A and B are shown apart, each in its own frame.
Chain A
Amino acid sequence: MPRALNKMTKGGVGYKRPPEIEASIDEALGQKPEEQLRRANIRDPADSAYMSSECLVHLVREARLSGDKRAVDRLLIPLLSRCERRLKRTIPDSRPDAQGLRDEVLQTFCELLARVGTNQDATALDLFECKFNKGLATLRYRRMRKENNRGKLFRDIGREVDEDGQPVDPNDTLGRLSRAAQTPAGQEDFVHLAEMLEAIKELPPAQRKAVELCCLQGYAPGSEDPNEITAATMCGVSGTAIRKNLRKAAEKLKAL
């Protein structure tokens, strides 16, 4: 049975891990260190032996609490590698000083891990044992809020034109989506964004990818600079292909 979490809600109820996480921790605790490490290093969530990140956080915390330095050293690498991969996707290179921001979020996470077993408060890690990605999202949000630079990330898709000089998004559908994803955002932006994200899921994969990269992550569709990372270079297609996909997506989404 995994150790109970300490963090309490305002109503005095303790945080509870989802049952499937609880079960996976139970299973991992009964495994040998070599097997735990093998599973921690699996990077494909679809692999049946894949260890959830929530479970991995728990194992590192337990190792810290029991003073098992060797286990901490071994499991810390796959855990931090997962954090890094997630942060690379959620703090894209299109953002100014993306690497610096990712480093700072990773450092805050490391500080929390270092606090385990000391008199310092490490209960913030409880969220990571329940919903790992949300824990990371919270640290990211807190760091971004300090910086208050989200507005710089988003590209005005409304100004994009295709090779014939025609606007890619004449109805400003994608432009509105991009603005709704910016902060400071109002509650109406949140409602609009929630509806749009549902609709984006229904788009064909190439259109969906183009919208995600350009409207939500702020990448340019393409660039004349061969060294610039753009949606085109990320997808391995031309900027023209990305703009075509954006135009088709805008056409489908404009009804919303």
Chain B
Amino acid sequence: MITYAPMPLDDVLHAFAMAKAVPDPGTLEEFTRKYPAYADELTEFAVDLLLDSAIEDEADETEVGESVSPAVSRAISYFQNALYELERSRPRPSKAFRKPRTRLRIWIESVSDRWRAVCAPTIHS
């Protein structure tokens, strides 16, 4: 018998959110049957989406200007910090990787030195 790794909850929620513009009982039932382990989460999420769909985007009357709200300022600062952390944790070429290049250079230099040493008397004579 083939068993599949369970789908992560986030992926199931995303798939449910994508399934219909506004979730309906049929879609909820289909998903809870397909993913019984997440039945409670799906039902709660369906209620959330339903309530969310009842809230429409409205025109915002506040003046648009250069000013940024304190919440957005905090979020931007968080974004910059997250970027910095990700940059810092990015793997860089290690010394172990750089060493062979250095050894190769040393070897080439030593061979060329020896070659010069061998050739030099011949040239002078």
Contact = CB atoms under 8 A, between A and B. Distances in A.
Interface of A: 7, 9-10, 15, 41-46, 76-77, 80-81, 83-86, 89-90, 99, 102-103, 106-107, 109-111, 113-115, 118-120, 124, 127, 130-131, 133-135, 137-138, 140-142, 144-145, 180-181, 183-187, 189-191, 193-194, 197, 200, 212, 216
A141 B50 contact: no
Contact of B44 (A103, A134, A145): A145
A170 B96 CA distance: 78
A70 to B, nearest CB: 14
Contacts of A140: 48
A199 B78 CA distance: 42
B47 A41 contact: no
A186 B42 CA distance: 10
Interface string B14-49: 110110000111001100100000001101111111
A110 B41 contact: no
20 contacts: A44-B60, A45-B59, A80-B72, A80-B76, A103-B75, A106-B75, A107-B75, A110-B75, A114-B82, A115-B86, A119-B90, A131-B17, A134-B52, A184-B44, A187-B28, A189-B43, A190-B25, A190-B46, A197-B50, A212-B55
Shortest 6 CB-CB contacts between residues of A and residues of B: A114-B82, A44-B59, A43-B60, A110-B79, A134-B17, A183-B44
Nearest to B46: A190
A187 B29 contact: yes
A44 B63 CA distance: 12
Contact of B47 (A43, A138, A190, A212): A190
B2 interface: no
B104 to A, nearest CB: 29
Contacts of A124: 10, 14
B63 to A, nearest CB: 10
Interface of B: 7, 10-11, 13-15, 17-18, 23-25, 28-29, 32, 40-41, 43-55, 57-60, 62, 64, 68-69, 71-72, 74-76, 78-79, 82-83, 86, 90
Contacts of A113: 79
A44 B58 CA distance: 7
Contact of A189 (B17, B47, B74): B47
B52 A190 contact: no
Contacts of A194: 24-25, 50
A41 B90 contact: no
B11 to A, nearest CB: 7
B28 A76 contact: no
B17 A138 contact: yes
Contacts of B69: 81, 84
Contact of A141 (B44, B58, B79): B44
B64 A41 contact: yes
